[in-house]
Amino acid sequence: MGDVLYIVVPCYNEEEVLRETARRLEEKLAALKSAGKIGAQSRVLFVNDGSKDATWPIIKELSEKENSVFAGVSLSRNRGHQNALFAGLMTAMERADVTISIDADLQDDIDAMDAMIDLWRGGCDVVYGVRASRQSDTFLKRATAEGYYRLLETLGCDVVFNHADFRLLSARALRALSQFGESALFLRGLVPMLGFKAGVVEYERKARFAGESKYSVRKMVQLALDGVFSLSLKPIRLISGAGLVVLAAAALAFVVLLVRVFLDKPVEGWAWATASVWGVGGLVLTALGVLGEYAGRTLMEVKRRPRYIISETAGLNHDIGETK
């Protein structure tokens, strides 16, 4: 029968690219099956993340074709890319021997899947798809992305440089990942925590086939914050260090003031005092903001709300080749 591969594809308003994505992934599955790398029951699992366009009707249509290799789950509302991806992985966990996650925009190289599966068969439970370069990005996007990875590294976060969410996970890795209970998911940081043997496959990222990226600046900033606050306590420690520096500076300034008073040379003007008050006030507000971020996230975790709710499925309960 062979090992079953599920290709998990989160989708949000992807009607413009979905049919082409399905065509290319179906061809890739057929090639992998012909090469004997995967079993006949391998399939593509689309996850509809509360799309407002025709994404879900297209997924259902694809799943209803004769001998369809497509299946789908639809979330009750938009829960964000990371939750949608996690929903797909958890749905596939009991059905597949291995999964590969990939975005629907056709920018990740699907031909890299062959090397991923080879590494998995060689003993890797995790295989990361890593961009060989960022030459196709604008200067601003390249600078901010690489700067963010450097920031995470500085803060002690274990992430794979230039890796997004194109990755292979074995069934064992999926079961381990399911034990992580936090609601603010940052899978790029959680997967390295699994500790299993990992490999890397480099690839060149392509231009988007059609449509526009669904990752707005706001969503990218939110994901970046999730990475920092989910993986590191260093921001709090940095605030503590900054507080000690300001305290030392204040003590030194106080000594200087006393000395000048005894020398009958008092400091005139309030510019320095105003600047120091504004500086300390800014530090206090920043500290409150960081502490509030941690406190708010802790509150959300304590509530234990579900990450997602699946409202509908399509094609999951049919074997490939079975008459529907």
273 falls within a domain:
yes
Q: Are residues 108 and 251 in the same domain?
A: no
Does 24 map to a domain? yes
Higher per-residue confidence, 140 vs 40: 40
* 207-214 long-range contacts, CB within 8 A, separation 24+: 207/107, 207/136, 208/17, 208/105, 208/106, 208/107, 209/17, 209/20, 209/21, 209/105, 209/106, 210/16, 210/17, 210/20, 211/13, 211/14, 211/16, 211/17, 211/105, 213/105, 214/12, 214/13, 214/14, 214/81
Q: Are residues 94 and 181 in the same domain?
A: yes
Query: Which of the four pLDDT bands, split at 50, 70 and 90, describes residue 214?
Result: low
Q: Is residue 224 part of a domain?
A: no
Q: Which residue has the higher pLDDT, 118 or 231?
A: 118
Same domain for 207 and 249? no
Number of domains in the chain: 2
Residues 156 and 268 in one domain: no
pLDDT given for residue 268 in this prediction: 63
Q: The whole model's pTM is what?
A: 0.76
Helices (H), 55-212: 55-63, 81-93, 113-121, 139-154, 171-177, 187-193
In a domain, 92, yes or no: yes
> Quick check: 152 pLDDT over 60?
yes
pLDDT for res 267: 61
Do 140 and 279 lie in one domain? The reply is: no
Cα–Cα distance for residue pair 7/2, rounded to 1 Å: 16
Question: CATH number of the domain that 66 lies in?
Answer: 3.90.550.10
Average of pLDDT values for 135-154? Answer: 69
pLDDT at 60 over 90: yes
Report if residue 221 sits inside a domain: no
Residue 226 falls inside a structural domain: no
Residues 140 and 14 both lie in one domain: yes
Would the pLDDT of 9 be above 90? Answer: yes
Structure tokens at 223: 């994901």
Distance CA 307, CA 309 (A): 7
Q: Are residues 284 and 310 in the same domain?
A: no
> 320 in a domain, yes or no?
no
- At 85 the pLDDT is 95
Q: Which domain holds residue 262?
A: 234-303
Per-range mean pLDDT, top range of 100-104, 184-188, 222-226: 100-104
Tell me: do 182 and 310 sit in the same domain: yes
Query: Does some domain include residue 239?
Result: yes
Residues 203, 285: one domain?
A: no
Asked whether residue 93 falls in the same domain as residue 139, the answer is: yes
| pLDDT digits 0-9 by tens, 172-191 | 999 999 998 887 788 888 89
pLDDT score for 324:
45
Q: Side chain identity at 162, as an amino acid letter?
A: N
Q: Are residues 167 and 260 in the same domain?
A: no
Average pLDDT in the chain: 82
Say if residue 40 is in the same domain as residue 76: yes
